[in-house]
Chain A
Amino acid sequence: MEKKRFDQLNEELYFEKMDNGLLVYILPKTDFSKTYATFTTKYGSIDDQFIPFGEKDFVKVPDGIAHFLEHKMFEKEDGDVFQRFSEYGASANAFTSFTRTAYLFSSTSHVKENLTTLIDFVQAPYFTKETVEKEKGIIGQEITMYDDNADWRLYFGTIQNMYHNHPVKVDIAGTIESITDITKDHLYQCYNTFYHPSNMLLFVVGSVDPEEIMKQVREDQQGKNYEAQAPIERKFEEEPSHVKREHHELKMDVQVPKCMVGLKATNVELTGLDLLRRELAVNTALDVLFGRTSPHYTRLYDEGLIDDSFSFDFSQEKGYGFALIGGNTREPKKLANTIQTILREEGNASSITNEQLDSVKKKNIGAFLRSLNSPEYIANQFTRYAFNEMDLFNAVPTLETLTIEDISSALADLAQQDHMTSFFILPKDEEAIE
């Protein structure tokens, strides 16, 4: 077991790679009552073409299968895993993103038992024809719920404007039609390919003794027979660098229109420190340009084009990435044009000053300290960073080395006309506002 100490932060991180390839991280927080653990596979909705474990040829699986599999992991021959977590007072959950599926619990007692439950249920699949069919109704209602959610439609609509082929454009849960085709054999195929310990990471944060936890996991994993697995082969269609369409809109039962501007990332092969620098540079640029201290924000707010729902974010992973800027607005067209003009101008010649950069750096140092109050943030973000060969604890030190040149070149790269798109949610005509 290795140990890394962060003196200024007063935190310690313990690490061990198990013989079967599983990465285990433990961050003790002894002042907390709770322990939060995530068990995550590097497998999400975008992994829809791959060579299944033990086979030779690529397959394409139905949309929404990673998420479907996540749901079905909770059901076992002897009932629902939630029941067992409840008996030990734990609250359990799971989520599926584009690139990850995470199973988690938090509890303030019986950590050992709950950790065993977590590891065991994720490492023992049980799918039957009946239980798979039954789940289609539940997930169908989940999909329908998101279909009625205007913010979700705005988010996905913008991504779908940007991407021609990449599966990031497909809704994580799939569609009612695509999940109809899912069988238990699909689930086993995906499970056997992506849930090998060498593709997974366990993070435990909270009131634990790292030695004890590591010992428990080590013995548990030694007791399970995993054969070594060759690296997983995934396949993605060629994706053009320009956006699929410059604009699209959707009418829904809303009173206030919504507007989102999307910027499709270039250089999506970056990993590790390069990716970290890119993410930090773009997020810093957006913060300076559109944050509440910026002249643009003031002007947009004064003109009534934005309200406090206005937000922006940039994230990138291997193969795709995008910035999203927008919110609720009376004048979506005008807002989209203004945002795009600002980005074009800044892309040509960035106006960002050293003073602004320093201010953002200071702000982020405080924000990072704040996020360390949250076991959930630490476990989830650490895992995301690790899967992209980045180190969460290196984010602030890296941010401090960013220069004005880093920011302006990142902006120039991103803010090109054919990388921009806009998407609106508009009120239905009969409910149009005056």
Chain B
Amino acid sequence: MTIEPKTVKHQGLSIHTIQTKQFKTNLMVIKFRAPLRKEDVTARALLPYVLQSGTQKWPTTATFRTHLDDLYGMNASVDVSKKGESHILSFSVDVANERYLQDNTPLTKEAVDVLAEMLFNPLLEGEGFSSKIVEQEKRSLKQRLETARDDKMRYASQRLIEEMCEGEPFALYPNGEIDEVDSITPKQLYEVYKRMMAEDTIDLYIVGDIEESNVVKECEIKLSFSVREPLPREKATYTQKEEPKKIVEKQSVKQGKLNIGYRTGTVYGDDDYIPLVMMNGILGGFPHSKLFINVREKESLAYYAASRIESHKGLILIMSGVDPGKIDRAQTIIQEQLTAVQQGDISDKEVSQTRAVMKNQMLETLDAARGIVEVLYQGVVAGTNLTIDEWFSKIDETTKKSIVDVAQKVQLDTTYVLTGKEEA
């Protein structure tokens, strides 16, 4: 099975269509990509939320959302994320396929109109955005940033990255920095918007049972972006720390969080990327992995102990929640698991299980429209295009030796511990 998008480049926009009868709705996602930059990360994070809150045609959330509801609950949403050292703003619409309705309103055409209205016709006031909307969305953004820190699991993951990648753009949180929010003016934000529209690398994905040529034509007319320079593709660099860093923070929490970050030097698209993913699978990606079996099942230290790859940055990140008194013990066992992989203490069964679940994971991801978009976009961001078949044969070709080789490149960088306060 293979998912092959048809890609059309129309001036500044790459349109990728994926024709499939699998879903009962059609999904369109447009992604804007620029380098993560301290000077505009916060304003960019605010931008999608301002754009979805008022347009010339639908000046309020209520009018906009009423229009969407009447189009059989068209779903419109925005998202802010990062991939490696790129900052990505996404705008999505998902709409019922009219062939499952007793109504023949051309919903996919309406979906293109909604995207176009959000992006090209924002509600303006003088030389900036509507000041009321900007103020409201600044307040929401601040609250979003604070609330993210209130979720301790997310907080610990975020703090590890901040400490580990200090001084690198990757340390920036995609939603920006709270201290930067207040000073953003409607006029400045409008300048950031113009820059996004003029300079960002833009990819549009359309997934569903669509008539490709019609939809593409519609998009070329309504989503017209000028030609632009491609984003320079530089492999992010970093200075290796002389000593691994360790940070311990205290809050009023009952469970300790132990998060550990490693550098691998391998990113998505590199020759040893698949062996790295396999290695992560053996170490901590799945319930058959060493971390789950040893930290959780054998030692009963944690409910969750897992590792994941930050694929465009080349990191392995381990996360676990353990009793504050047992953090050292957990750390020892985690380190032992990595050492075991590095020394080749890997059974044939572990390799074959990991192969099987990795293939399964990929195919399952492609069973959701959003999954298809994300998998394809991974390749676009990295500038490599692997088909699913190629991906699978690389998994099959990966040997234990190549897994051990890549494991030996893995270096401890930073350990972050969130633990309880001794309360009086």
Give A residues with C-beta under 8 Å from B: 8-10, 29, 31-34, 80, 82-83, 85-92, 106-109, 134-142, 144-145, 147-151, 252-256, 291-295, 297-298, 301-302, 304, 307-309, 328, 330, 359-360, 362-367, 369-370, 372-375, 428
Shortest CB-to-CB span from A13 to chain B, Å, is: 15
Max chain B C-beta neighbours (<10 A), residue from A34, A150, A369, A372: A369
Q: Smallest CB-CB separation from A427: which chain B residue?
A: B150
Collect the chain A residues with CB atoms within 8 Å of residue B302's CB: 138, 141
Instruction: State the 3 A-B residue pairs at the shortest beta-carbon distance, nearest first.
Output: A137-B300, A89-B356, A366-B73
Shortest CB-to-CB span from B289 to chain A, Å, is: 9
Max chain A C-beta neighbours (<10 A), residue from B20, B143, B357, B368: B143
**Known pairs A33-B363, A150-B150; A307 contacts B21 (CB<8 A):** no
Total contacting residues, chain B, CB less than 8 A: 75
Collect the chain A residues with CB atoms within 8 Å of residue B296's CB: 138
Collect the chain A residues with CB atoms within 8 Å of residue B1's CB: 33
Q: How far is the CA of A255 from the CA of B23 in the complex (A)?
A: 41
**Known pairs A34-B363, A301-B61, A304-B139; A141 contacts B255 (CB<8 A):** yes
Task: Please state if A91 and B364 are interface contacts (CB–CB under 8 Å).
Answer: yes
Collect the chain B residues with CB atoms within 8 Å of residue A292's CB: 61-62, 65
Collect the chain A residues with CB atoms within 8 Å of residue B224's CB: none
B102, CB-defined interface residue at 8 Å: yes
Task: Please state if B150 and A255 are interface contacts (CB–CB under 8 Å).
Answer: yes
Q: How far is the CA of A253 from the CA of B418 in the complex (A)?
A: 12
Task: Please state if A253 and B96 are interface contacts (CB–CB under 8 Å).
Answer: no
**Known pairs A8-B100, A87-B352, A373-B25; A253 contacts B252 (CB<8 A):** yes
Q: How far is the CA of A88 from the CA of B342 in the complex (A)?
A: 26
Contact of B356 among A9, A10, A88, A144 (CB under 8 A): A88
Can you show 29 pairs from A to B with CB atoms below 8 A apart?
A9-B24, A9-B100, A34-B360, A86-B288, A89-B360, A91-B357, A91-B360, A92-B287, A106-B360, A108-B360, A108-B363, A109-B356, A136-B300, A137-B300, A137-B301, A141-B303, A144-B321, A253-B152, A256-B143, A256-B147, A293-B69, A304-B139, A309-B143, A328-B147, A360-B69, A362-B71, A366-B96, A369-B96, A369-B100
Q: Smallest CB-CB separation from A369: which chain B residue?
A: B24
Shortest CB-to-CB span from B58 to chain A, Å, is: 11
Task: Please state if A428 and B361 are interface contacts (CB–CB under 8 Å).
Answer: no
Number of A-B contacts (CB under 8 A): 204
**Known pairs A34-B364, A91-B357, A372-B24; A256 contacts B61 (CB<8 A):** no
Shortest CB-to-CB span from B350 to chain A, Å, is: 9
Shortest CB-to-CB span from B192 to chain A, Å, is: 21
Task: Please state if B22 and A89 are interface contacts (CB–CB under 8 Å).
Answer: no
Q: How far is the CA of A428 from the CA of B251 in the complex (A)?
A: 11
Shortest CB-to-CB span from A113 to chain B, Å, is: 11
B172, CB-defined interface residue at 8 Å: no
Apart from A150-B150, A363-B73: 10 A-B pairs, beta carbons within 8 A? A33-B1, A83-B288, A91-B357, A145-B303, A148-B152, A255-B146, A307-B144, A362-B69, A362-B73, A369-B101
Collect the chain B residues with CB atoms within 8 Å of residue A291's CB: 65
Task: Please state if B100 and A370 are interface contacts (CB–CB under 8 Å).
Answer: no
Collect the chain A residues with CB atoms within 8 Å of residue B146's CB: 255-256
Task: Please state if A298 and B61 are interface contacts (CB–CB under 8 Å).
Answer: yes
Max chain A C-beta neighbours (<10 A), residue from B20, B97, B254, B303: B303
Q: How far is the CA of A372 from the CA of B101 in the complex (A)?
A: 14
Contact of B66 among A29, A293, A373, A428 (CB under 8 A): A293
B323, CB-defined interface residue at 8 Å: yes
Q: How far is the CA of A255 from the CA of B73 in the complex (A)?
A: 34
Q: How far is the CA of A253 from the CA of B354 in the complex (A)?
A: 39
Shortest CB-to-CB span from A388 to chain B, Å, is: 24
Shortest CB-to-CB span from B403 to chain A, Å, is: 16
Task: Please state if B303 and A142 are interface contacts (CB–CB under 8 Å).
Answer: yes
Contact of B25 among A33, A363, A369 (CB under 8 A): A369
Collect the chain A residues with CB atoms within 8 Å of residue B153's CB: 145, 149
